[in-house]
Amino acid sequence: MNDKNDLLKSKRMNALLGGGQEKAAKQRAMGKMTARERIAYLCDPSSFMEIGTFVRHNCQDFSMADECFEGDGAVTGIGTIEGRKVCVYAQDFTVMGGSLGKMHGRKIARLLDVALTLKVPVIGLNDSGGARIQEGVDSLSGYGEIFYRNSRASGIIPQITAIMGPCAGGAVYSPALTDFIFMVDRTSQMFITGPQVIKAVTGEEIDAQSLGGSMTHSGISGVCQFAFPDDSSTLDGIKRLLAYLPQNCYEKHRAPVFGDIPLDPGFSAVVPTSAKKSYDMKNVISLIADDWMEVSEHYARNIITAFAHIGGMSIGIVASQPNCMAGCIDINASDKAARFIRFCDSFNIPILTLEDVTGFLPGIAQEKGGIIRHGAKMIYAYSECTVPLVTVILRKAYGGAYISMASKELGADMVFAWPDAEIAVMGSEGAVNILYRKEIKSAPDPVSFRAAKMEEYEEKFSNPYQAAKNGYVDDVILPEETKRKVLYAFAALDGKEKHSPEKKHGNIPL
**Who's near 209: CB < 8 A, 6+ residues apart?**
186, 189, 215, 216
Give the three-class secondary structure for 356.
strand
Does residue 133 touch ligand HXC according to CB under 6 A? yes
Nearest approach, Cβ of residue 99 and ligand HXC (Å): 4
Q: Which of 99, 214, 225, 462 binds ligand HXC (CB under 6 A)?
A: 99
| 3-class secondary structure, 80 | strand
| 191 is an interface residue for ligand HXC by CB under 6 A | no
Closest to ligand HXC by CB, 17 or 443: 17
Q: Is 131 in the site for ligand HXC (CB under 6 A)?
A: yes
Where does this chain touch ligand HXC (CB under 6 A) — which range of 84-92, 132-140, 409-417, 483-491? 132-140
Under a CB-based contact definition with an 8 Å cutoff, are residues 383 and 447 in contact? Answer: no
168 near ligand HXC (CB under 6 A): yes
Catalytic, 219? Answer no
Active site residue 401: yes
Work out which of 96, 224, 344, 371 binds ligand HXC, going by CB under 6 A.
Answer: 96
The answer to whether 335 touches 374, Cβ cutoff 8 Å, is yes
**What residue spans of 178-223 are helical by DSSP H?**
195-202, 208-212, 214-215
Among 18, 105, 169, 350, binds ligand HXC (CB under 6 A): 169
Tell me which of 35, 88, 171, 211 binds ligand HXC, using CB under 6 A: 171
DSSP E strands, 35-172: 49-51, 74-81, 84-91, 122-126, 159-163, 166-168
The one catalytic residue in 136, 155, 170, 411 is 170
Contact 436, 457 (CB under 8 A): no
Our measurement of the distance from residue 124's CA atom to the centroid of its chain's CA atoms, rounded to an integer in Å, reads 16
CA distances for 132 relative to 44, 91, 169, 349, 407, angstroms: 32, 13, 12, 39, 50
Q: Which is nearer to ligand HXC, 99 or 320 (CB)?
A: 99
Query: Which distant-in-sequence residues (6+ apart) come within 8 Å of 355 by Cβ?
Result: 319, 320, 391, 392, 393, 394, 397, 402, 405, 406
Catalytic residue among 24, 171, 227, 401: 401
Catalytic residue chosen out of the listed positions 19, 71, 169, 311: 169
Alpha helices in 327-407, H assignment, sequence order: 331-346, 364-369, 371-383, 399-404
Size of the site for ligand HXC (CB under 6 A): 15
Is 136 a binding residue for ligand HXC by CB under 6 A? The answer is no
Is 101 a known active-site residue? Answer: no
> Under a CB-based contact definition with an 8 Å cutoff, are residues 313 and 296 in contact?
no
Q: How far is the C-alpha of 408 from the C-alpha of 404, rounded, in Å? A: 10
Question: With respect to ligand HXC, which residue has the nearer C-beta, 144 or 509?
Answer: 144
Packing angle of the helix pair 137-153, 102-118 (nearest 10 deg): 10
What's the closest the beta carbon of residue 170 comes to ligand HXC, in angstroms?
3
* Residue 279 found at the interface with ligand HXC (CB under 6 A): no
- 163 bridge partner residues: 126, 183
Q: Does 170 bind ligand HXC (CB under 6 A)?
A: yes
Residue type, 271: V
- The answer to whether residue 115 forms part of the interface with ligand HXC (CB under 6 A) is no
Distance from C-alpha of 264 to C-alpha of 479, rounded to nearest angstrom: 8
- Report, in Å, the least distance between residue 10 CB and ligand HXC: 22
Q: Report the residue number, 59 or 288, with the smaller CB distance to ligand HXC.
A: 59
Name the one range near ligand HXC by CB under 6 A: 3-11, 72-80, 168-176, 435-443: 168-176
Task: Rank residues 130 and 237 by Cβ distance to ligand HXC and give the closer one.
Answer: 130
Catalytic residue among 219, 222, 399, 400: 400
In the complex, the smallest distance separating the C-beta of residue 231 from ligand HXC, rounded to whole angstroms, is 16
Name the minimum Å distance from CB 219 to ligand HXC.
23
Considering only residues 13-52, where is the footprint of ligand HXC by CB under 6 A?
none
Rounded to 5°, angle at Cα 197 from 191 and 198: 75
Positions marked catalytic: 169-170, 400-401
Q: Which residues bind ligand HXC (CB under 6 A)?
A: 96-97, 99, 129-133, 140, 143, 166, 168-171
